[in-house]
Amino acid sequence: MTTRREVLIGTGAGLTTLGALSLGGARMAAAQPGGNGGMGGGAGSRMPLVDRIVPPGEGLGHKPLVVSTWRHGLPANDAAWKVLADGGRALDAVEAGVRVPEADPEVTSVGYGGRPDREGHVTLDACIMDEHGQAGAVAFLEGIMHPISVARKVMELTPHVMLVGEGARRFAVAQGFPEQDLLTDKARADWQEWLKTSDYRPWTPPTDPKSTSSARPRPSDNHDTISMLAIDGDGNLSGACTTSGLAYKMHGRVGDSPIIGAALFVDNEVGAACATGVGEEVMKTLGSFLIVELMRQGATPQEACEEGIARIRHRHRDGDLSQVQVGYLAIDRHGNVGAYDVQPWFQYAITDAEGDTRLVDANSWLKRK
């Protein structure tokens, strides 16, 4: 049987091109003289990728699936799964799922209880995308516990994709979202402690690197976005991403999390990808869009995630990656999953077709010492 990968790649020449692609932009350019290489077909013939798209839903096993980033994905997946198990839509599932950490004051990187910026403001970024390629986002939103639901309203009720700051807040209030102070006493105390040194580090390694997978603490206290991807019983895909962003960021800073194509991209005909980590790295390589496009061209979710990380490494010329924390998570439309990180601490939660939820250690470029 001819696989989709073979159909997409077509010839040995095409496979060579995929190999070149996986080694980054420079090799890709070399493999595409005149900038017209494309995938497959050899020199000079560009594959019309869009013509090869499989119609939505065709050939799917219709098995629901939820994946999400980090340990706080476990209860989030459970909430999402309830929607899917009732025959619900993936969009409703991802919204319900990520609302769990948004409301949890113990999760210090998402929603209520999230760490503030360096001026003491909790500013939230979120985006959501459905099976039709519709998208909504909010950025730099203050005082609203559930930015993901505001993002969905932006998608469904406005002619826009993104609202930011005061405009986003006013829109949320007009839609009936309650306003509240999201800075908890604990987050305020931690911020005041941080102010004593004002030492800004986008990422800090785990406090106890030797602890075991099941017992170890969260990998980082200053960020851990939740990004979630789901397939519902109709074979449709959706995704959501929500965060309070990097702890002690500059006031006004917005990361990748509300940027469609950076922290999240969903293409119902191909798959979906999402990100967690230092947003500046993800934005400069438009990671989630890249990963979905690589899957369109025949890469597996795992290969595509590894290429997404390779692009980031390439930007750093594989130099000092100690402050570079980015993890990608991807699914294809058949429910295959991939994940990869620069650092060795990334975990994701998966709920499979049987409804079993577990935490998985992702592979990484750097290894644990």
Give the footprint of ligand SD4 on this chain (CB under 6 A).
109, 223-225, 243, 245-246, 255-257, 276-279
Residue 142, CA distances (Å) to 45, 148, 168, 288 in order = 50, 13, 9, 26
Enter the DSSP assignment of 41. Answer: S
**Shortest distance, position 227 Cβ to ligand SD4, whole Å:** 8
Catalytic hit among 69, 123, 184, 225: 225
**Shortest distance, position 110 Cβ to ligand SD4, whole Å:** 9
**Shortest distance, position 159 Cβ to ligand SD4, whole Å:** 26
Exposed/middle/buried for 299, CB within 10 Å: 0-12, 13-18, 19+?
buried
Helix (H) or strand (E) segment spanning residue 148: helix 147-157
**Shortest distance, position 367 Cβ to ligand SD4, whole Å:** 20
Helix (H) or strand (E) segment spanning residue 272: strand 271-277
Which of 88/277 has CB closer to ligand SD4? 277
**Shortest distance, position 312 Cβ to ligand SD4, whole Å:** 13
Which of 17/109 has CB closer to ligand SD4? 109
**Shortest distance, position 211 Cβ to ligand SD4, whole Å:** 19
Residue 349, CA distances (Å) to 59, 188, 226, 342 in order = 26, 29, 10, 18
Helix (H) or strand (E) segment spanning residue 265: strand 264-267
Which of 311/333 has CB closer to ligand SD4? 311
Question: Residues with Cβ < 8 Å from 174, sequence gap 6 or more?
Answer: none
Cβ atoms within 10 Å, residue 11: 13
CB 36 within 8 A of CB 56: no
342: nearest Cα among 356, 316, 321: 321
CB 231 within 8 A of CB 353: no
Helix/strand/coil (H/E/C) assignment for every residue in 70-126: CCCHHHHHHHHHHHHHCCCCHHHHHHHHHHHHHHCCCCCCCCCCCCCCCCCCCCEEE
Which of 227/268 has CB closer to ligand SD4? 227
Which of 32/69 has CB closer to ligand SD4? 69
Q: Has 69 been annotated as catalytic?
A: no
Per-residue tokens: 128: 């959501």
Q: How far is CA 41 from the centre of its chain?
A: 32
Kindly compute the dihedral angle of the four CA atoms of residues 32, 35, 39, 41, in this order, to the nearest 10 degrees. -70
Which of 37/248 has CB closer to ligand SD4? 248
**Shortest distance, position 254 Cβ to ligand SD4, whole Å:** 8
- Closest residue to ligand SD4 in the complex (CB): 279
Which of 123/351 has CB closer to ligand SD4? 123
Rounded distance between C-alpha atoms, residue 299 and residue 15, angstroms? 10
Active-site residue set? 225
